Copies of this chain bind each other. A is one copy, B any other.
Amino acid sequence: MAYTQSTDYREEEINLARFAKALGHPARIAILKYLASLDTCCFGDIHKELPIAKATVSQHLAELKDAGLIRGSIAPPRVNYCIDWENWKKARKLFGDFWETENNDRPSPCCQ
């Protein structure tokens, strides 16, 4: 953990930040969009979509799994991945609430 454990961030901020961090790389965005458009697919198919080595793809998949956005299941000799729709919805709600601020139509008052 990098940011000090000194309490002081709210649970919701931490959750939102965790999801955001998981989305914070083009490869992971691409993976999620791909999986969301399909239904399920195996590692190899995902790898084919990306311009990076398979070891790296594996790492990105692990991060998305840690964040709860995807799941994997072994189906020898393949490994299938798919969106975890339950958490997907939670994330969507968090982001929805976040962006949905009251004052969206205010112009930026300062800062020319």
Given A16-B29, A108-B71, A111-B73: A95 and B99 interface contact (C-beta under 8 Å):
yes
Q: How large is the interface on A (under 10, 10 to 19, 20 to 34, 35 or more residues)?
A: 35 or more
- Chain A 86-112 interface mask (CB, 8 Å, partner B; 1/0): 101101100110111101111111111
Q: Is the interface of A mostly helix, strand, loop or mixed?
A: mixed
User: CB distance A8 to B88 under 8 Å?
Assistant: no
Set of chain B residues within 8 Å of A7, measured between Cβ atoms? 51
User: CB distance B13 to A80 under 8 Å?
Assistant: no
Set of chain B residues within 8 Å of A33, measured between Cβ atoms? 13, 98
Please report the C-alpha to C-alpha distance between residue A77 and residue B26 in the assembled complex, in whole angstroms: 40
List, sorted by A's number, 10 A–B pairs whose CB atoms are closer than 8 Å.
Answer: A7-B51, A9-B51, A20-B21, A20-B29, A21-B21, A81-B111, A82-B111, A85-B106, A92-B104, A95-B95
